[in-house]
């Protein structure tokens, strides 16, 4: 056991170093984290918000089930999710989650029995089977997924070790024998709480604290192999359902780190699990074959409620489960800390310095997209000037940047009003040779002339290859059906969600295009082409 403990201590130190080295220099916060349309969170009772003031037992899974002050609620608000999906429930461990995601996986007998016991019969194999479609559908549609499981893997192992320690099971037990005996013991005592009360009483009276520590550590390590297999299968199934999902793994903390056997004793039961939990975190953060694909949030220091001494459990009676499940969960401060850790590993958004582009402006996202992708710049350091009418040279420059600013060496153009020293010369040369823009006649390009809405969507249409629009329609009464010169381009733009018009039934083809409109239409166009 000493050699095992020494090995685990080394793993703890290694895990701490690796996690420290993985911290980003510019961490995201609630103020600068990237936006995600849909956020889903998978986990056990910790993610579900158990023990928080607003928690309601049995809230279940589904859309917008959030407990006030839970880390999921804080993350959802920070990423401004339009939709949030709860996929968390009490008792969930990696075996149960893998059962939900993998068709051929058989949940182990211990999980099948202990989850219903701990959740008052709320979940069983039949219920899990019915939940599979809901889980998979939610994962397939989410943009951001946090996943925090593993604590119950360790808890179930600890429970088995306690039963073995007091002689409730033979040393050469099998899993099925344990479950049969456990059912008998619960029936004999009248309830699971009464059984636990007797177990704790026996431990205290037999003075088996040291042996208990050894049994706990060994039992937890015995689950490690199964945990790794389950974890890798779970992550693989998630990416199979949604290859583009952003995953943040919520690292484990030690929920019973401050627990003692007796209130006057100095021996801490809880900290024996520190090396084991650190090993689990090390695997999910660094050693798993999928670790490079997702992000890991180190939540080791999450604050939990004050823990009791196990001998105090003798006084809890039927409230044993209520009491122990309360103390192992994060406080409000603990959830806030976990949320901050999750946000810190997510991508940040670049902060625009344009004072004339407020965040509530209809064109904000378009300007942000165009600016961050290098398609448009400000008119000065702090001004974007969204309402300025765009010129032909400016639009040629945007289209040229969209193409990656290709080399124009050897290309020519016929325009007498575009000198070699003009700032937009190369962009205009490229746009002309690519067939995206044409001149205004008489060898003139008119680089400073304004661009109409019809002209701009025509440029985008040509850039897309002028696809056939046969059979497609548009609702605009001011485009005169197929008589307008830009009809095909407008039909294409409408059907590809590049534009929805100025109103539901008007396009205003002759209206000038502003810089804000250019940014928005370009962002939509690139979205349609993705």
Domains (range + CATH), the chain: 31-344 (3.40.50.1110), 364-529 (no CATH)
513 vs 55: which has the higher pLDDT: 513
- Quote the pLDDT of residue 484: 87
pTM for this model (two decimals)? 0.63
User: d(Cα 457, Cα 498) in Å, to the nearest integer?
Assistant: 8
Spell out the alpha helix ranges (H) of 373-486: 392-402, 425-433, 453-463
Query: pLDDT of 473-485, one tens digit each?
Result: 889 999 876 678 9
Task: Give the burial string for 348-381 (b: 16+ CB within 10 Å, else e).
Answer: beeebebeebeeeeebbebbbbbbeeebbebeee
Please tell me the distance from the alpha carbon of residue 95 to that of residue 103, in angstroms, as a whole number.
Answer: 13
Higher-pLDDT residue of 434 and 317 is 434
pLDDT for 157 equals 75
Q: Which residues pair with 297 in a beta bridge?
A: 250
- In which band, very low, low, confident or very high, does the pLDDT at 141 lie, cut at 50, 70 and 90? very high
Q: Rounded to whole angstroms, how far apart are CA atoms 169 and 149?
A: 28
Q: What percent of the chain has pLDDT over 70?
A: 72
Q: Indicate the pLDDT class of residue 208, thresholds 50, 70 and 90.
A: low
Q: How far apart are CA 63 and CA 177, in angstroms?
A: 40
pLDDT at 383 over 90: yes
pLDDT of residue 305: 83
Instruction: Point out the least confidently predicted range of 185-189, 365-369, 377-381.
Output: 185-189
Q: Is the pLDDT of residue 466 over 80?
A: yes
**pLDDT band of 17, cuts 50, 70, 90:** very low
Task: Summarize the confidence of residues 258-271 as an average pLDDT.
Answer: 61
Token representation of residue 433? 């040779």
Question: In sequence order, what are the residues at sequence separation of 6 or more whose Cβ sits closer than 8 angstroms to the Cβ of residue 356?
Answer: 383, 384, 385, 386
Q: Per-residue confidence at 201, pLDDT binned at 50, 70, 90?
A: low
Phi first, then psi: give them for residue 118, nearest 5 degrees: -80, -20
Residue 511 pLDDT: 94
> Is 389 within 8 Å of 512 (Cβ atoms)?
yes
**pLDDT for residue 463:** 94
Question: Contact, 385 vs 355, CB < 8 A?
Answer: no
Query: Do 305 and 258 form a contact (C-beta atoms < 8 A)?
Result: no
Please say if the pLDDT value at position 11 is more than 50.
no
Which stretch, 78-92, 124-138, 212-226, 268-282, has highest mean pLDDT?
78-92
Q: CA–CA separation, 313 vs 481, rounded Å? A: 80
Please say if the pLDDT value at position 376 is more than 60.
yes
pLDDT (0 to 100) of residue 15: 37
Residue the block writes with tokens 């709480």:
193
* Cβ neighbours, 10 Å, residue 26: 8
CB-based contacts of 129, cutoff 8 Å, min separation 6: none
Taking 3-state DSSP, the helix, strand and coil percentages for the chain, each rounded to the nearest 5, stand at 50, 10, 45
Determine the average pLDDT of the residues in 404-416. Answer: 93
- Compute the CA torsion angle 500, 501, 507, 511 (nearest 10 deg): -130
Tell me which residue has tokens 């699971």: 192
Question: Tell me, what's the pLDDT at 59?
Answer: 54
C-alpha 257/C-alpha 254 separation (Å) is: 5
pLDDT for the residue 449? 95
Structure tokens given for 315: 């006084």
Structure confidence at residue 16 (pLDDT): 37
- Is the predicted pLDDT of residue 267 greater than 70, yes or no? no
What is the rounded distance in angstroms from the CA atom of residue 441 to the CA atom of residue 102? 65
Other Cβ atoms less than 10 A from the Cβ of 23: the count is 10
Q: Where are the beta strands (DSSP E) in 187-317?
A: 246-250, 295-297
d(CA 83, CA 145): 12
**Given the structure tokens 């407020």, which residue do they identify?**
358
Q: Is residue 218 within 8 Å of 161, Cβ to Cβ?
A: yes
* Lowest mean pLDDT across 7-11, 215-219, 421-425: 7-11
Query: Higher-confidence residue: 403 or 127?
Result: 403
pLDDT band, very low/low/confident/very high, at 460 (cuts 50, 70, 90): very high
Q: How many CB atoms lie within 10 A of CB 329?
A: 21
Average pLDDT, the chain: 81
The tens digit of pLDDT for each residue in 330-347 reads 999 999 999 999 999 998
Residue matched to tokens 């350091």:
381
Closest to 95 in 3D by CA, of 51, 138, 38, 155: 155
pLDDT digits (tens, 9 = 90+) for 229-241: 999 999 999 999 9
Closest C-alpha among 390, 439, 398, 438 to residue 417: 439
Helix, strand or coil for residue 256? coil
Which range, 7-16, 96-105, 157-166, is most confident? Answer: 96-105
Q: Which of helix, strand or coil describes residue 513?
A: coil
Residue bearing tokens 């344990």: 178
The residue behind tokens 């650190």 is 278
Torsion sign over Cα 153, 154, 157, 159: negative
Torsion of the alpha carbons at 80, 249, 157 and 220, rounded to the nearest 10: -150
Cβ 295 vs Cβ 243: under 8 Å: no
Q: According to the model, what pLDDT value does residue 216 have?
A: 62
């Amino acid at each position: 056991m000493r050699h095992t403990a020494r090995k685990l201590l080394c793993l703890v130190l290694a895990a701490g170093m690796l996690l420290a080295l993985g911290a980003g220099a510019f961490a995201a916060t609630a103020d600068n984290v990237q936006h995600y349309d849909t956020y889903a969170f998978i986990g056990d009772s910790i993610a579900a918000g158990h023990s928080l003031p607003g928690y309601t037992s049995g809230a279940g899974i589904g859309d917008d089930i959030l407990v006030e002050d839970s880390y999921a609620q804080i993350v959802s608000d920070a990423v401004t999710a339009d939709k949030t999906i709860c996929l968390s429930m009490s008792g969930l461990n990696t075996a149960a989650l893998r059962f939900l995601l993998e068709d051929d996986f058989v949940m182990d007998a211990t999980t099948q029995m202990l989850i219903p016991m701990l959740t008052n019969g709320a979940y069983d194999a039949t219920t899990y089977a019915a939940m599979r479609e809901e889980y998979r559908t939610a994962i397939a549609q989410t943009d951001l997924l946090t996943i925090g499981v593993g604590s119950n893997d360790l808890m179930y192992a600890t429970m088995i070790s306690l039963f073995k320690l007091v002689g409730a099971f033979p040393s050469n037990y099998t899993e099925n024998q344990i479950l049969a005996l456990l059912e008998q013991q619960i029936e004999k005592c009248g309830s699971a709480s009464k059984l636990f009360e007797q177990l704790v009483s026996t431990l205290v009276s037999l003075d088996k604290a040291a042996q208990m520590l050894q049994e706990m550590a060994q039992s937890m390590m015995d689950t490690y192999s199964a945990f790794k297999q389950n974890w890798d299968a779970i992550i693989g199934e998630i990416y199979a359902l949604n290859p583009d999902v952003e995953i943040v793994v919520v690292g484990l903390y030690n929920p019973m780190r401050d627990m003692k056997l007796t209130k006057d004793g100095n021996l801490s039961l809880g900290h024996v699990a520190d090396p084991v939990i650190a090993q689990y975190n090390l695997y999910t953060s660094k050693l798993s074959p999928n670790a490079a694909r997702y992000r890991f949030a180190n939540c080791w220091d999450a604050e939990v409620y004050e823990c009791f001494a196990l001998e105090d459990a003798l006084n809890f009676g039927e409230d044993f489960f209520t009491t122990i499940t309360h103390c192992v969960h994060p406080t409000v401060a603990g959830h806030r800390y976990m949320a901050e850790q999750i946000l810190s590993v997510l991508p940040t958004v670049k902060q625009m310095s344009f004072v004339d582009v407020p965040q509530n402006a209809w064109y904000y996202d378009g300007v942000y997209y165009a600016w961050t992708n290098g398609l448009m710049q400000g008119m000065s350091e702090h001004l974007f000037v969204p309402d300025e009418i765009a010129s032909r040279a400016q639009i040629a420059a945007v289209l040229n940047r969209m193409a990656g600013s290709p080399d124009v060496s050897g290309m020519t153009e016929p325009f007498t009003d575009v000198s070699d020293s003009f700032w937009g010369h190369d962009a205009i040369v490229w746009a002309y040779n690519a067939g995206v823009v044409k001149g205004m006649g008489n060898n003139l390009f008119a680089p400073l002339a304004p661009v109409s809405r019809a002209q701009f969507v025509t440029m985008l249409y040509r850039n897309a290859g002028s696809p056939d629009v046969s059979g497609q329609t548009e609702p605009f009464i001011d485009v005169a059906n197929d008589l307008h010169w830009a009809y095909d381009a407008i039909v294409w733009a409408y059907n590809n969600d590049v534009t929805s018009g100025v109103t539901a039934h008007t396009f205003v083809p002759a209206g000038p295009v502003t810089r804000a409109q250019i940014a928005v239409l370009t962002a939509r166009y690139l979205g349609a082409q993705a």
